[in-house]
């Protein structure tokens, strides 16, 4: 195995977020499941945009957020994801590169499909509800894999949302084979309980066969193992995966690895918008882990990064994260 | 005089902001005057965007911000301003309408000029430095004036930045004549000391002849009267304008009207980004004033609105402003 050229190579749906405040009654009126992510078409995206409040546009995408946060923490990061050659695609590309992430996936002609957007309604309690129009992302395929970048990255990190666009599924299976062929590690975040329900069998076999480092929150892990018993789910993931980081919102996280268990406290903060909390946790963990720090310290970096991101609108960091973890 | 159909009719440059954090050394390297607003061309906008950090896109424009904040406080508000029929133009139109503001100015064909954007660098101390590419705004002209809306508004409010695009100057002179012809009031914000320097004679005569309610901060007022003596400037504006609201950052504001003087305290807050502070103050003041509240109370509304807007990234409100002024 050669020296790694990257700490983290992220693969995900390249999305620009449009965030707006909304009362819970708005979610109910429009049939949105609070806290979830729903896939929508172009017409539905237009219809929701028309009725939602004033927006704030910010680059997003689960793995994209993780890459931006990890780079802010000093990790060497690359990203693979499909935007279109339109205005939002330029915004996405600018933002992730300006965050210090190498991003070279060829954009799709805008006439084929536009850059993906996610309409995010933020409730008064800070909880976010997402409506995603995948647009160009469904055109991400094996042809977009950068073999050298994957083989040269300590960890290839993929978001569970990639189970939604069919061409991406074969692409990330191929990415996992490239990574393992080069003696590297593969990591995935389960992303969303609804997404896990949609593709449970595919998730189960991928986690069992390919995943070295798993990120999941409580509802996602319970969905994966079809149980409502937390200790059963924790035992199952401990048996199947070398290293799992299980996040539990304000109760912090539990890191399980073989016989080891580390409980990590959440960092208290004023919750403004939970968008990107899990993405930031994974970023903090992986930035510390690939730097060679211990599991408990990596979990602390995850908690610090998540707290920063939920303290303001949008999923990309606004404060100096290096200074925050140094304290 | 008929019953007013609007409390406030704003006229301004319709702009989408791109906000990013930057160290003061970045401003120095790129020759930007901290705290100011510089006009830039399309090529320069592209060049600055390439080197600036990850951005947050948010509808802006000085008078547009004022209209959005005033509507959030319950005022009946209309807005006139020129976007192009492109993606950013749709974002601007969506956001101001979603804020509850009537906005019907015909968009410019995108092939003529794109929607204006303002590249805003936010320093670690929260101070903002703006670079504005006016794009479609230079095509706003008398033909875009909605006579009925102006004649039906208690106050027609214009931003001083309108002195930059030449066609807008004759348009807002015409707007002032329509407003006064209908027995209404005309208000202007001086916007920016550099802008006042660029067009001092035009500002001076307009303020003297047409303005009933003036908004200015310290440096803008000193620029207008070419003095560095605050008491001289205050005396000059008191003699020339019926009602002037003079803002002094963390020292609050002074409202002068004939023999009356009201000192209004600032509302303490954690400063994150000063973008839109003056716009929000004017909004709070005018929302209360057109509701019939007294000058001191109107100033308090201005302070509350400004404090909310500077406590987060972006110039449009994120909290429930009605609840904040009710306390």
Q: pLDDT tens digit string along A260-281?
A: 999 999 999 999 999 999 999 9
Q: Is the pLDDT of residue A327 over 80?
A: no
pLDDT for A2: 78
Split chain B (327 residues) into runs of 10 and give each run's mean pLDDT: 91 97 96 95 96 96 98 98 96 98 97 97 96 97 97 98 92 97 98 94 96 97 97 97 96 97 96 96 98 98 97 92 91
Helix (H) or strand (E) holding B253: strand B253-257
Out of A54, A59, A318, name the one closest to residue B95 (CB).
Answer: A54
Q: Do A98 and B58 touch (CB under 8 A)?
A: no
Handedness of CA B238, B241, B244, B247 (dihedral sign): negative
Contact B122, B22 (CB under 8 A): yes
| Token digits of residue B139 | 């095509």
pLDDT for A17: 97
For all residues of chain B together, what is the average pLDDT?
A: 96
Helix (H, G, I), strand (E, B) or coil at A327: coil
pLDDT in tens, A94-104: 999 999 999 99
Contacts of A91 in chain B (CB under 8 A): 55, 57
Pairing of strands B15-21, B56-59: antiparallel
pLDDT in tens, A119-159: 999 999 999 999 999 999 999 999 999 999 999 999 999 99
Contacts of A87 in chain B (CB under 8 A): 86-88
Q: Do B88 and A86 touch (CB under 8 A)?
A: no
Contact A79, A156 (CB under 8 A): no
Instruction: Measure B137 CA to nearest chain A CA, in Å.
Output: 19
- The whole-angstrom distance between residue A237's C-alpha and the CA centroid of its chain comes to 19
Contact A302, A279 (CB under 8 A): no
Q: Is the pLDDT of residue A81 over 80?
A: yes
pLDDT in tens, A161-218: 999 998 999 999 999 999 999 999 999 999 999 999 999 999 999 999 999 999 999 9
User: Which residues are paired to A159 by β-bridges?
Assistant: A189
Q: Do B94 and A312 touch (CB under 8 A)?
A: no
Q: Do B55 and A94 touch (CB under 8 A)?
A: yes
Out of A50, A52, A57, name the one closest to residue B91 (CB).
Answer: A57
Angle between helices A87-98 and B87-98 (to 10 degrees): 90
pLDDT in tens, B14-45: 999 999 999 999 999 999 999 999 999 999 99
This prediction's pTM: 0.94
Q: Do A55 and B95 touch (CB under 8 A)?
A: yes
Q: Is the pLDDT of residue A1 over 70?
A: no
Contact B19, B55 (CB under 8 A): yes
Q: Do B55 and A95 touch (CB under 8 A)?
A: yes
Contact B166, B16 (CB under 8 A): no
Q: Domains in chain B, please, with CATH?
A: 6-12+61-107+138-326 (3.40.1190.20)
Nearest to B18 by CA among B162, B140, B116, B99: B116
Out of A56, A91, A94, name the one closest to residue B314 (CB).
Answer: A56
Q: Do B53 and A313 touch (CB under 8 A)?
A: no
- As for the ipTM of the complex, it is 0.91
Q: Is the pLDDT of residue A288 over 90?
A: yes
Q: Output Rg (C-alpha) for chain A, integer angstroms.
A: 18
In a 13 Å sphere around the CA of A219, the CA atoms on its Cβ side amount to 10
- Location of structure tokens 């908004």: B215
Count, in order, helices (H) and strands (E) of chain A.
13, 14
| Token digits of residue A164 | 């939604």
Interface test with chain B among A56, A64, A88, by most B beta carbons within 10 Å:
A56
Q: Do A88 and B87 touch (CB under 8 A)?
A: yes
Chain A residues with CB under 8 Å of a chain B CB are: 20-21, 49-50, 52-59, 68, 86-88, 91, 94-96, 98-99, 312-314, 316, 318
Rounded to whole angstroms, how far apart are CA atoms B291 and B286?
8
User: Which residues are paired to B130 by β-bridges?
Assistant: B37, B120
């Amino acid at each position: 195995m050669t020296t790694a050229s990257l700490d983290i190579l992220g693969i995900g749906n390249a999305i620009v977020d449009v965030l707006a405040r909304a009362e819970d009654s708005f979610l109910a009126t429009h049939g949105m499941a609070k806290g979830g992510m729903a896939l929508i078409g172009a017409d539905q995206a237009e219809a929701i945009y028309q009725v939602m409040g004033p927006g704030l546009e910010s680059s997003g995408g689960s793995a994209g957020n993780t890459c931006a946060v990890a780079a802010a923490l000093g990790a060497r990061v690359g990203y693979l994801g499909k935007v279109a050659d339109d205005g939002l695609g330029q915004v996405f590309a600018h933002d992730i590169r300006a965050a210090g992430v190498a991003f070279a996936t060829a954009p799709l002609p805008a006439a084929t499909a536009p850059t993906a957007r996610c309409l995010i309604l933020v409730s008064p309690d800070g909880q976010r509800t997402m409506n995603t129009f995948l647009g160009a992302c469904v055109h991400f395929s094996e042809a977009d894999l950068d073999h050298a970048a994957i083989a040269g990255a300590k960890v290839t990190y993929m978001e569970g949302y990639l189970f939604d666009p069919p061409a991406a599924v074969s692409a990330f299976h191929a990415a996992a084979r490239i990574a393992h062929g080069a003696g590297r590690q593969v990591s995935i975040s389960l992303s969303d309980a609804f997404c896990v329900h949609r593709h449970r069998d595919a998730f189960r076999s991928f986690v069992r066969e390919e995943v070295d480092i798993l990120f999941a929150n409580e509802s996602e892990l319970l969905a994966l193992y079809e149980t409502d018993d937390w200790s059963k789910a924790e035992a199952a993931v401990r048996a199947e995966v070398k290293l799992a980081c299980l996040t539990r919102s304000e109760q912090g996280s539990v890191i399980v690895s073989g016989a080891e268990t580390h409980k990590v406290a959440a960092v208290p903060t004023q919750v403004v918008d939970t968008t990107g909390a899990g993405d930031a946790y994974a970023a903090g963990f992986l930035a510390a882990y690939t730097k060679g720090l211990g599991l408990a310290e990596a979990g602390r970096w995850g908690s610090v990064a998540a707290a920063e991101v939920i303290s303001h609108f949008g999923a990309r960091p606004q404060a100096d994260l290096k200074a925050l973890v140094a304290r």
